[in-house]
Structure 1
Amino acid sequence: MDCNKIYPRTGDTQTVYLKSVVNRPTIEVGDYTIYNDFANDPLDFEKNNVLYHYPINHDRLIIGKFCSIACGAKFVFNCANHTLKSLSTYTFPLFFEEWDLQKSDVATAWDNKGDIIIGNDVWIGYDAIIMAGVKIGDGAIIGTRAVVTKDVEPYSIVGGVPAKEIRKRFAPEVIEKIKSLQWWNWPEEKIQKSLTAIQSGDIDSLERVV
């Protein structure tokens, strides 16, 4: 097992370990998180999928371990916003030279909603859009072409425009057990030993793993 290589599958250049292809210091990706792209080169994830992520704003994209991100998923950052505090939605501060404004006030052109934070073991579906300031909990599933504008609770399935909760993946007591175990933080050897329990959904066996 080597989460530092680019391609996890022999002969498959459409799927990458994402942490090995991102370079921006404002993007953090956990071990074994994958991105698949059959339309574009997955090596271009930062250019094609992380949008309006300009250094001036210092906002971050943080993605946990063991996430699965489908082709076309987009993360839309604060610089895409136009401030709603103004009487106009026109971004005058961006064109400070034209309007004789202070360059230092450029960031007032948009409303800053904060970082995008994705938990562990999250599945983000095809063409889904995650908006600035959203936090997605561990184990959540984001449906195909969903537009996520609000936080998503752990182990929730959401879909639609704007995305709304469809249901929880498991019973509340099971969710609490998984959150407590945090198997994604275990050593690789322990995860390997636990795969049968993880894949079969046997939470009781997972709790007994030592």
Structure 2
Amino acid sequence: MELDGPNPNRPYPLADHRRVCFIKNFVKSPHIIVGDYSYYDDPVDPEGFERNVLYHYGDDRLIIGKFCAIATQVKFIMNGANHKLDGISTFPFPIFGHGWEKEMAQLIGLPSRGDTVVGNDVWMGYDSLVMPGVRIGDGAIVAARSVVVKDIPPYTIAGGNPAQPLKQRFSEAEIAQLLEIRWWDWDIAKISRNLHLIMAADIQALSNAT
């Protein structure tokens, strides 16, 4: 019998408890885009993932790929947290009014690093924090309680504050091959047929999968 995997449109994929949810089913903001099967694990409030996307006032987007595993209390700081850096003070006086609003033009052009992007098949450890505009590559791993302030290459393990690359999971040639295979874009029947290869380490066999 052909396996078709779990339904990504089912909010809670585990029948026996609700601490894990497929994130896309609970996101309301049009500026947060989450791929199929990416899940958030939180024993208290998995449905509240969107509250972990902080200072999201503008049009910058948080984009999370498919098959990502996001642990409890992972947070994303968006560009709305930024203050102007080119003046003597970084304090946002005009937003408090009472005469200070006359300098509102001074707040135009707040720093922005653009969209924050998490690739496919990324594992983000407990209580990690991602700063605005960071790009985390496909297959990367972010260690628990890391503070990610700059891009993490594909299939790289990173950790610390600030997070630094600790180890490549595969050789450069193997990473290039995996990025060409892009198994997460296969139809779900093909993924299901080849789980034994996706979960193993024979990249050439995965490349030959049908």
Same-fold status (TM-score > 0.5)? yes
Higher relative contact order (CA 8 A, sep 6+): 2
Opposite residue 31 of structure 2, the aligned amino acid is T
Output one character per residue of 1:129-167: Cα deviation in whole Å (capped at 9) or x when no partner.
000010111001011000000011101110000000001
1:132-171 equivalences under 5 Å are 132-171=132-171
Structure with more of its chain in helix, by fraction: 1
Equivalent position of 1:50 in the other structure: 53
- Cα separation, partners in 2 of 1:24 and 1:107, compared to 1, 3 Å: farther
Opposite residue 83 of structure 2, the aligned amino acid is: H
Deviation at 1:5, TM superposition (A): 0.8
For the 8 Å contact 2:95–2:101, the answer to whether it is kept is no
- Asked whether the 8 Å contact 1:78–1:112 carries over to 2, the reply is yes
Alpha-carbon distance in 2 for matches of 1:66, 1:45: 16
Q: Which residue of 2 aligns with 1:6?
A: 11
Query: What SS does the aligned partner of 2:80 have?
Result: helix
Partner of 2:199: 199
CA RMSD of the aligned region, Å?
A: 1.5
Check conservation: 2:84, 2:107, Cα contact below 8 A.
Answer: no
SS in 1 for 2:102: coil
Distance 1:82 1:24 in 2: 23
User: Matches of residues 36-47 of structure 1 in structure 2 within 5 Å?
Assistant: 36-38=41-43, 40-47=44-51
Correspondences of 1:96-175 after superposition (within 5 Å): 96-101=97-102, 106-108=107-109, 110-175=110-175
Matched, 1:92 2:97: no
Residues 18 and 35 in structure 1, CA contact (< 8 A), matched pair in contact too: yes
Query: Which position in structure 2 is the counterpart of 1:26?
Result: 31
Give the number of aligned pairs.
Answer: 205
User: Per-residue displacement from partner, 1:69-106 (whole Å, max 9, x unpaired)?
Assistant: 00000000112122211110111242345403265665
- Which residue type is aligned with residue 78 of structure 1? N
> Is the contact made by 1:96 and 1:103 (CA closer than 8 Å) also made in structure 2?
no
The 8 Å contact of residues 92 and 99 in structure 1, kept in 2 or not, is answered as yes
Task: Please tell me the residue identity of whatever aligns with 1:14.
Answer: R
Q: 1:107 to 1:35 in 2, by over 3 A?
A: farther
Tell me, which stretches of 5 or more residues in structure 1 are unaligned?
none
8 Å CA contact retained: 1:127, 1:146: yes
Alignment partners' CA distance in 2, 1:107 and 1:194 = 51
Given that residues 53 and 77 in structure 2 are in contact (C-alpha distance below 8 angstroms), is that contact kept between their aligned partners in structure 1? yes
Structure 2 CA distance, aligned partners of 1:132 and 1:8? 30
Between the aligned partners of 2:130 and 2:103, the Cα distance in structure 1 is 31
Point out the more displaced range, 96-105 or 169-178.
96-105
CA distance in 1, matches of 2:101, 2:62: 33
Q: Say if 2:183 is the partner of 1:183.
A: yes
